[in-house]
Amino acid sequence: MPLRDIVFLPDPVLRRKAHKVTVFDAEFQQLVDDMIETMRHAPGVGLAAPQVGVSQRLIVVEYPVNDDDENSPEKLYVLANPEITHASEEAVNGVEACLSVPGMAGEVMRHTEITVRGQNRRGQTTRIKASGWLARIFQHEIDHLDGVVFVDRASRIWKPTAEEAENIKD
């Protein structure tokens, strides 16, 4: 599975609304596999297809099942055509970074709980309830599918120190 090149701002693909996934063929499966490997290699906790130059509504997310436990196993999510169907009224500010905006961090307000509906890699409908950092990751990646980058939503943006950067999840 080849690694894909991650594109950076101001690449125009990051500013376009991505196209709906309608075909779940071998080429699509290869894209999914490539994105998973690219995300892991980066390393990151999420990746949207536009970040590898593909204007399709596809995200991959990998995050610990229990984010309070360092040794918790990670769960991989693959979602085509994801949409947030429910979002909590409660929202919190949190620090975000992005593989497509290297060397920058920002404070972004996000819902603390969301429900996401989409299709798995085989095209079957699936629903995910997420809270905390997992909810933040899904919101960040879904934004990419609409041409929105975290710096667009950030109340404050800065270049983190090396120590800060180690603790920020991309």
How many residues are recorded in the chain? Answer: 170
Evaluate whether 75 touches 62 at the Cβ level (below 8 Å): yes
Of 141, 163, 164, 166, the catalytic one is 141
Active site residue 141: yes
Backbone angles phi, psi at 59, to 5 degrees: -130, 155
Tally: H helices and E strands in the chain: 4, 8
Of 139, 102, 105, 141, nearest to 9 by C-alpha is 102
List the catalytic residues. Answer: 141
